[in-house]
Amino acid sequence: MAFSGYTVRLATADDAPAMFNLIEELAAYERAPHEVINTAAKLKHDGFERSNPLFKAWVAESSDGVVVAMAICYVRYSTWKGPVLYLEDIVVREALRGNGIGKLLMEACVNECRAMGYKRLTWQVLDWNEPAIRFYERWNAEFDAGWLNASIDF
C-alpha cells in the first residue's frame, strides 16, 4: 500500500530498532517514558525470532526507506466473538501525523482481520488523546464508556 510517498509493508526483524524508537517516541507523547522496559532486542526476538511470534507488525516507510510509523497487533480471544485482532499501537512520527500514514496502517490491520476471518478489531485510546479519538471516529469506532482497564505488573 502506498500513499503520498509512503509505503506500508509487513515489518521484518531488521525494523526492530526503528520500531523501538517509535515506541520511545510514543511513550514520551503519552507522558510515560519511564515505563518502557522493553528493548529493541526483545522486540526483535518476540516478534520475529520466535517460532510462534507474539505480534504481527506493519511499518510505513518513506520513499528513501526510512521507517516513519508502525502498527503492532496480536490475536486475542473473545468468548463472545472468537479470535479478534487487538491493535496494541499505531505510532506515526509526530512531525508526519495528518498525512494519511495512520490510515494506511489502520487499513493494514483491517485487511488482516478480514483475511483471517476475525469479527472484530479492538484497541484502547487514552481519553485525553483527542487527535487519536478523532482518527478512530472516522472509522466509525465505538467507544466503551462502561469498561475500566485493569492490569497487574510483575
- In angstroms, the Cα distances linking 77 to 81, 84, 119 are 8, 6, 11
Q: Which domains does the chain have, with CATH numbers?
A: 2-137 (3.40.630.30)
Convert the pLDDT of each residue in 104-148 to its tens digit: 999 999 999 999 999 999 988 777 778 777 877 888 778 777 776
What CA dihedral angle connects 130, 135, 137 and 141, to 10 degrees? -110
> 67-78 and 56-61 as β-strands: parallel, antiparallel, unpaired?
antiparallel
What whole-number distance in Å separates Cα of residue 43 and Cα of residue 15?
Answer: 10
Confidence of residue 152 (pLDDT cuts 50, 70, 90): low
Q: What is the pTM of this model?
A: 0.88
Active-site annotation, residues: 136
Convert the pLDDT of each residue in 16-62 to its tens digit: 999 999 999 999 998 999 999 999 999 999 999 999 999 999 999 99
The answer on pLDDT for 71 being more than 90 is yes
The answer on pLDDT for 5 being more than 90 is no
Write down the pLDDT at residue 146: 73
